[in-house]
Amino acid sequence: MLGGTPDLPFVFDNEKWQHAVVVRPYFAGASTHVRLAPESKNVVRLFGRVTLGGEPVEGMNLSANQQNEDRAGSNAETDEQGEYEMRLPGGGRYGISLHRWDPKDMSSRNWSLSLDVPESGQLRQDFDLPVAHIRGRVTSSAGDRLAAIRIVATGKRDEGVLALRYANTQTKADGTYELAVGPGALRMTVGGSRNGQASDDWAEVERDDLVLAPGQELAGVDFVLPRGGRLSGRVRNADGSLAGEVVIRVDDFADDETLAMMEMEDPFELTGLYHGVDIGLR
């Protein structure tokens, strides 16, 4: 029974785990919060507080994974005061990721950094996430305001420095958007089929000249999307039979990057493609 022996072992996928802490007593009808960590002689307690612009953040998901080591990581979520706690299986350099999804505006943000953790004991690590805001409108070349268009901002990763990894949202019914991002240099992509997310018939537009200061409110970052290409068809085997499910890869050879990798059932259809992409099927 939960709340019994604190060293009771668990087995998940043939790995031995141990019961770390039960923070609420168990009784009929009550919910019980259990933290599980890999069995280790050098478990490290990592704890602290997450704030955004100085205010505590509830519901921020944190993950810690040891770099260059084949060890399981740990996860935690902040409470109403922005507090979190997790157990790490030993010391070393960890990649820390902080992620939060907001269903109100369909946005998500992710910060990351590298953190050196002692071999045993505990480490308090507070995260004060700097924030800036970008606002604008997305329209077609004909001036139509475009709704539900994907907006993505990616930041430059800096080893050992807490930095925005990505933030995304989508435009409202009137084509406007507001995106909370981290300060520094940003690359923004709007529309298109990157990451397998198509924005109807609108091709992707990119901008990489934005540099924001902490707390900055930058308005008027507008985008005009051209009509994108559409590709549809069926894939057949050498004997003429239908291939069924196919994997479609969209590459931009000019920038040497993969724009999308999608599993689609035959027949397939791609929208929002711009001139110069290469399509591969398998």
106-131 residue pLDDT tens: 678 888 888 999 988 999 999 998 88
When pLDDT is averaged across residues 233-257 and rounded to a whole number, the result is 68
CA-wise closest residue to 246 among 277, 199, 279: 279
Tell me which DSSP letter residue 4 carries. S
Asked if the model's pLDDT at residue 214 lies above 60, the reply is yes
**What are the tokens at 236?**
């057949």
State how far the Cα of 25 lies from the Cα of 33, in Å rounded to an integer.
9
d(CA 65, CA 63): 7
Region 260-265: mean pLDDT is: 56
175: left (phi over 0), alpha (psi -120 to 50) or beta: left
pLDDT for the residue 161: 61
Residue 231, pLDDT > 90, answer no
Residue 50, both tokens = 């997450």
- In angstroms, the CA 185 to CA 200 distance is 29
Task: Please give the average per-residue pLDDT across 177-181, as a whole number.
Answer: 91
Element containing residue 229 per DSSP (H, E): strand 229-233
Distance set, CA 201 to CA 127, 151, 252 (Å)? 40, 15, 18
- φ/ψ (deg, to 5) at 194: -60, 140
In this predicted structure, what is the pLDDT of residue 221? 96
For the chain, the average pLDDT equals: 76
pLDDT of 51: 93
Q: pTM of the entire structure?
A: 0.62
- Averaged over 196-213, what is the pLDDT? 75
Task: Report the DSSP beta bridge partners of residue 250.
Answer: 260, 279
8 A C-beta contact, residue 143 and residue 222: no
Residue 196's pLDDT is 44
